Amino acid sequence: MAILLSRRSNLLAVVVLLLCQLFLYATVSSSGSVLKQGGGEEFSEELLLKPFPDRKVLAHFHFQSRAPHSSSHGRHHHLFPKAIAQLVKKFRVKEMELSFTQGRWRYEQWGGFDPLSSNNAKPPGVELWAVFDVPQSLVDVYWRNLTHTLSGLFCASINFLESSTTYSAPELTFKPSFGNLRYGTLPREAVCTENLTPWLKLLPCRDKAGLSALMDRPSIYRGFYHSQRLRLTSSESGSDEVDSGIGLDQTLTVVLQPSSWRTGKTYSVETNIQPSWSISSIFGRNIPGKCVIAKSSNVYLQLDNGLVGELKNLERENAKYVANTFESEGFQSNHAFKISVTPDKVFEEVDNLHGKSTSVIYGFSVEKYSDSQPFDLGLTWKIPVVWSCQQAPLHASRFLMGSGNERGAIAISLEPTESSEGLPTSHIIDGRCELRVDIFQVVPWYIKVYFHTLQVFVDKQPRAMADVVDKIRVSPSKDKVSPGVMEMILKLPCGSKSAAFSLEFDKGFLHIDEYPPDANQGFDIPSALISFPSFNARMNFSEDEFLNNSPILSKFQHALQRHHHYMHSICIVFWIIAQCASEAC
Amino acid sequence: MLADDMACNARNKYPAQVFNNENHKLNLYGDNVEVDYHGYEVTVENFLRVLTGRHEAAVPRSKRLLSDEGSHILLYMTGHGGDEFLKFQDSEELQSHDLADAVKQMKEKHRFKELLIMVDTCQAATLFSQLHSPGVLAIGSSMKGENSYSHHLDSDVGVSVVDRFTFYTLAFFEKLNMYDNASLSSLFTSYNPTLLMSTTYYRTDLYQRKLEEVSVTNFFGSVMETIHTDSAYRTTHSRKTSETKMPLQESVKHDERRQLINSNVQDQTSDTKIEDKQCPFTRRWNAFQDKLEKIERIDSLVNYGFIIMFPLLLIIMFPLLLISTWLLPTFVS
């Protein structure tokens, strides 16, 4: 009996030991697997290239990072930048967009209707807007602290937006936010390498690998327009949205001119042909493979619908080139252009509401390229092609009227472009065809606007305000406290040839220390924002399931309902009038 | 603090590039530059706030000078200046007594141990004439009544790209090897008044140490010698090959190591004499410890230990497993 017992205890001990070992292995392997998964964070990078009709090329980088909600993941981040996650948590940011831009987006040549220009044409300088998840009384305090933190993070003077003379709270023309939205711009802020450096540090691969390795600083800042943008969305867990957590979209939009001497073409023969370019000729570098941590890494080449229509027309005219048509599979050798790499996927836009030709996007995957075999995409034009990009429904411009140091007037003029000829029938409301236009304008306090002098002209005839203006919200400026905000929702009759508004103002008196050090340059009035809510800047593609994984293309599909059309800021020159008020002068 | 945006200025023919020489060999603006205060933020008030640390609560850490009582600070100022002032932004000036007061506050709040102020403006030496805090060293490019001049004009960019004082300071550093031990006095005496077209002047009355003993890396950033390894734990790469690459300055340490080894040998010989008197266990334990101390590659030993452990475990567990599987059926039956 005793021997049996000892054997049993021996057996039990061995079994327990084995179980312990198994348990140990199980825990080790599970923790290892959790570490490998990365906690559900994702990162993807994309680049979109697009030729413009005025011999320039657009390069649009899009980096998207997603992190699931933090309560389930503590404070460990694998791909997502910790600085942003801490910012979202500390300032209870629900949505935020910060953009640094230099240059002006030329709507006439570069288009105003496609999703890219709607989302990425930004006013020059710094623009920041944020929606907070705090009670309305605390929003201003949180806004101030946010501006300071962002100025430290991005090496910019965003802290100037803390003073109430620089920011405003739009309600009508921006997204609905119930008073928790603050909007501010710094039109004169210079954007340079020091703003790009921390922006790139938020990416998991920095600028060492993947698409961000293309960013040659002199090439970017030599462009005609460059805009780096950061868009944050944060949603609470338990909400209805599929992707709760923090989403970070970083985009860099650059318009570059490929230099003709680099491609070695002689000037006299090829004056009408668009310059041929390649990634290495416009950036000076190739793509050395993808960022290993990225879920997907793609390059797209977009030919917009104006260009596709023009190519098809040219084909029809030159019937002898029927063998190599645009629609056939020989994309690489076409009669009009040649692409140096075979595309992996081709997307064609479908159901274009405007009945014109559809745009085409070629997709290239960077996965199979590496350091030894870098990716370089080139486009060579064979024949001269002239086309125009699709314009926004109305062309808006803003200018100053009057002269002298005492008073003046701001005028906004809206003129239709050719795309407004075929307006969709959804605009017909109550039997009248109307075009809805939203205008949002902020002027600094020293431009003392008299809102009662607002005059409306339609087809160069003065009209009553009630005819054209549906809603208007005005927040008059207070000297040295708050700027003047004007938000207008207009309903213009469809057949109108032009519309204009004018608003008179007095120039306020500034003390000598309120002038900036370079006062002779004048003051910049921030850009106004014009939206067309009834138009969809949306592109639908035939292959849907692939597109949901691609940030750029899914943005094209679910584009904002409204176009944002920024007018450039006006510069007003104030002459310094120093007055001695006391005998001590 | 950069007041003007030079690199991305619309008038700059070379965007995002700032050169200090007309040969355009070195782009000072680089790829990873970060500027904390630029544009309209460069004011005398912000400068004094940075020095004294008296910021508003919301100011982020990257815009503060996070120094303590052991810090060595280099303060380099250049621009337009004159008798007892430095011009900021064409609209205000920093005066010498303001600077002296700020440095005094810094010293009282223990915000630095040593401070080097270099000024490259006209009549630069007057800017630090009012300083009276200990631990401060200052050098200016010109004395009262003298101008400081630029070195050369880059006709491609269209502006003068470097001043004479800065140019010769850079030339001094470029002549140095990375591991040279140049002293501050060699830097301060390297300036030639004929080449500079002005007389440099430096103050050492507030600085306790002798300039000949202070190396330039005290203020101008230091370089640590790093040995690059391919993997975290090396089992085959011997240290001897890396030792031969060490430059002459490290030979001192080499000798020291040899001496240590010698002393170990001596200890061993002494130990052997005592050995006979000790009991076998302590003798073996001491020998084991000596062997452990002699092992230079402890990491490889640990690796070997791990590698040996697993087969050992298996060997130990195997009979147990056998026994259990053999016992169990017999027991059950």
Q: Which amino acid is residue A30, in one-letter code?
A: S
Q: Which residue among A8, A152, A516 places its CB closest to the CB of B62?
A: A152
Least Cα separation, residue A1 to chain B (angstroms): 12
Q: Which residue among B17, B39, B89 places its CB closest to the CB of A190?
A: B39
Share of chain A above pLDDT 90, in %: 38
Q: How far is CA A348 from CA A303, A389, A397, A449, A541, in A?
A: 10, 17, 33, 49, 6
CB A142 within 8 A of CB A96: no
The 10 Å Cβ neighbour count of residue A498 is 15
Q: Is A12 on the interface with B (CB under 8 A)?
A: no
> How does residue A200 score in pLDDT terms, banded at 50, 70 and 90?
very high
> How does residue A305 score in pLDDT terms, banded at 50, 70 and 90?
confident
Whether the full predicted model's pTM is greater than 0.80, yes or no, is no
> How does residue B123 score in pLDDT terms, banded at 50, 70 and 90?
very high
**CA distance linking residue A480 with residue A477, whole number of Å:** 9
> How does residue A394 score in pLDDT terms, banded at 50, 70 and 90?
confident
Please report the pLDDT score of residue A465 as a whole number. Answer: 87
CB contact under 8 A, A218 and B62: no
> How does residue B309 score in pLDDT terms, banded at 50, 70 and 90?
confident
For residue B62, give the chain A residue with the closest CA: A152
3 state DSSP class of B213:
coil
Taking contacts as CB-CB distances below 8 angstroms, the residues of chain A near B17 are 217-218
CB contact under 8 A, A149 and B5: no
Kindly tell me if the per-residue pLDDT of A22 is higher than 80. Answer: no
Kindly tell me if the per-residue pLDDT of B177 is higher than 50. Answer: yes
A125-132/A181-186 β-pairing:
antiparallel
Kindly tell me if the per-residue pLDDT of A303 is higher than 80. Answer: yes
Q: Is B39 on the interface with A (CB under 8 A)?
A: yes
* Candidate CATH numbers 2.60.40.740, 3.40.50.10300, 1.20.59.10, 2.40.30.40; the one for domain A394-536+543-572: 2.60.40.740
DSSP state of A294: -
Least Cα separation, residue A191 to chain B (angstroms): 7
Which of B40, B50, B310, B323 is the mutation pick for testing A, counting most A CBs within 10 A? Answer: B40
CB contact under 8 A, A221 and B321: no
Q: Which residues 24-63 of A are in CB contact (within 8 Å) with B?
A: none
Taking contacts as CB-CB distances below 8 angstroms, the residues of chain A near B44 are none
**CA distance linking residue B204 with residue B116, whole number of Å:** 10
Taking contacts as CB-CB distances below 8 angstroms, the residues of chain B near A202 are none
Taking contacts as CB-CB distances below 8 angstroms, the residues of chain A near B328 are 11
Kindly tell me if the per-residue pLDDT of A134 is higher than 60. Answer: yes
CB contact under 8 A, B38 and A190: yes
Task: Lowest mean pLDDT of A570-574, B77-81, B86-90, B323-327, name the range.
Answer: A570-574
Q: Which residue among A144, A155, A207 places its CB closest to the CB of B36?
A: A155
Residues of B with catalytic function: 80, 122
Least Cα separation, residue A366 to chain B (angstroms): 24
**Which residue has tokens 């639908």?**
A540
Q: Is B36 on the interface with A (CB under 8 A)?
A: yes
Kindly tell me if the per-residue pLDDT of B95 is higher than 90. Answer: yes
**CA distance linking residue A282 with residue A288, whole number of Å:** 16
**CA distance linking residue A158 with residue A137, whole number of Å:** 22
Least Cα separation, residue A515 to chain B (angstroms): 10
Least Cα separation, residue A11 to chain B (angstroms): 6
Please report the pLDDT score of residue B4 as a whole number. Answer: 86
pLDDT digits (tens, 9 = 90+) for A409-462: 999 999 887 655 544 444 555 567 888 889 999 999 999 999 999 999 998 899
3 state DSSP class of A293:
coil
Alpha helices in chain B (DSSP H): 44-52, 96-108, 164-175, 184-188, 193-196, 239-245, 251-275, 280-294, 298-332
Please report the pLDDT score of residue A430 as a whole number. Answer: 59
Least Cα separation, residue A45 to chain B (angstroms): 21
Kindly tell me if the per-residue pLDDT of A329 is higher than 50. Answer: no
Q: Rounded to the nearest 5°, which phi and psi values hold at A74?
A: 60, -140
Least Cα separation, residue B92 to chain A (angstroms): 9
Closest by alpha carbon to A398, among A533, A528, A264? Answer: A528
Q: Which residue among A157, A220, A221 places its CB closest to the CB of B40?
A: A157
CB contact under 8 A, A217 and B31: yes
Higher-scoring residue by pLDDT: A32, A180: A180
Q: Is B305 on the interface with A (CB under 8 A)?
A: no
Higher-scoring residue by pLDDT: B252, B313: B313
Closest by alpha carbon to A225, among A57, A112, A111, A392? Answer: A57
Please report the pLDDT score of residue B279 as a whole number. Answer: 62
What does the angle CA A541 – CA A542 – CA A544 come to, to the nearest 5 degrees?
80
Closest by alpha carbon to A251, among A556, A451, A413, A47? Answer: A47
| Average model confidence (pLDDT) across chain A | 80
pLDDT digits (tens, 9 = 90+) for B208-225: 999 999 989 889 876 666
Q: Which residue among A152, A160, A516 places its CB closest to the CB of B60?
A: A152
Q: Which amino acid is residue A572, in one-letter code?
A: I
Kindly tell me if the per-residue pLDDT of B124 is higher than 70. Answer: yes
Domain boundaries, chain A: 394-536+543-572
CB contact under 8 A, A152 and B5: no
Higher-scoring residue by pLDDT: B112, A75: B112
Mean pLDDT of the region A141-167: 94
**Which residue has tokens 């590496």?**
A370
Task: Lowest mean pLDDT of A216-225, A376-385, B123-132, name the range.
Answer: A376-385
**3-state per-residue secondary structure call for A494-518:** CCCCCEEEEEEEEECCCCHHHCCCC
3 state DSSP class of B87:
strand
For residue B7, give the chain A residue with the closest CA: A192
Number of H-type helices and E-type strands within chain B:
9, 9
Alpha helices in A155-225 (DSSP H): 193-201, 217-221
Taking contacts as CB-CB distances below 8 angstroms, the residues of chain A near B58 are 144-145, 148-149, 159, 162
Task: Lowest mean pLDDT of A12-26, A299-313, B151-165, name the range.
Answer: A12-26
Closest by alpha carbon to B77, among B59, B51, B55? Answer: B51
pLDDT digits (tens, 9 = 90+) for A532-566: 887 766 666 665 555 556 666 666 665 444 455 66
Q: How far is CA B300 from the centre of its chain?
A: 32
Kindly tell me if the per-residue pLDDT of B287 is higher than 70. Answer: no
Helix or strand (DSSP H, E) at B73: strand B72-78
Which of A21, A215, A217, A510 is the mutation pick for testing B, counting most B CBs within 10 A? Answer: A217
Structure tokens given for B36: 């904390």
CB A134 within 8 A of CB A180: yes
Taking contacts as CB-CB distances below 8 angstroms, the residues of chain B near A160 are 40-41
A447-458/A499-507 β-pairing:
antiparallel
Please report the pLDDT score of residue A393 as a whole number. Answer: 82
Please report the pLDDT score of residue A371 as a whole number. Answer: 84
3 state DSSP class of B9:
coil
What does the angle CA A205 – CA A211 – CA A214 come to, to the nearest 5 degrees?
105
Mean pLDDT of the region B50-77: 94
Taking contacts as CB-CB distances below 8 angstroms, the residues of chain A near B66 are none
Beta bridge partners of A487: A440, A473
Please report the pLDDT score of residue B280 as a whole number. Answer: 63
Mean pLDDT of the region A177-195: 90
Task: Lowest mean pLDDT of A328-332, A482-486, B123-127, B328-332, name the range.
Answer: A328-332
Please report the pLDDT score of residue A427 as a whole number. Answer: 54
Taking contacts as CB-CB distances below 8 angstroms, the residues of chain B near A153 are 60, 62
Q: Is B154 on the interface with A (CB under 8 A)?
A: no
**CA distance linking residue B236 with residue B116, whole number of Å:** 47
Q: Is A194 on the interface with B (CB under 8 A)?
A: yes
Which of A193, A225, A571 is the mutation pick for testing B, counting most B CBs within 10 A? Answer: A193
Name every residue whose Cβ is closer than 8 Å to that of residue B246 and which is 6 or more positions away in sequence: B225, B254
Closest by alpha carbon to A59, among A366, A294, A300? Answer: A300
Please report the pLDDT score of residue A578 as a whole number. Answer: 40
CB contact under 8 A, A157 and B60: no
Structure tokens given for B316: 């130990």
Helix or strand (DSSP H, E) at A553: helix A551-557
> How does residue A325 score in pLDDT terms, banded at 50, 70 and 90?
very low
Q: Is the dihedral of CA A275, A278, A279, A284 positive or negative?
A: negative
Q: Which residue among A192, A516, A518 places its CB closest to the CB of B8?
A: A192
Please report the pLDDT score of residue A576 as a whole number. Answer: 45
**CA distance linking residue B54 with residue B52, whole number of Å:** 6
> How does residue B207 score in pLDDT terms, banded at 50, 70 and 90?
very high
Mean pLDDT of the region A66-84: 79
Question: What is the torsion angle, in degrees rounded to the nearest 10, for the CA atoms of residue A261, residue A267, residue A272 and residue A273?
Answer: -40
Q: Is A578 on the interface with B (CB under 8 A)?
A: no
CB contact under 8 A, A14 and B58: no
For residue A221, give the chain B residue with the closest CA: B15
> How does residue B293 score in pLDDT terms, banded at 50, 70 and 90?
low
Structure tokens given for B305: 């230990």
CB contact under 8 A, A193 and B8: yes
Least Cα separation, residue A201 to chain B (angstroms): 10
Mean pLDDT of the region A187-198: 92
What does the angle CA A289 – CA A293 – CA A295 come to, to the nearest 5 degrees?
90
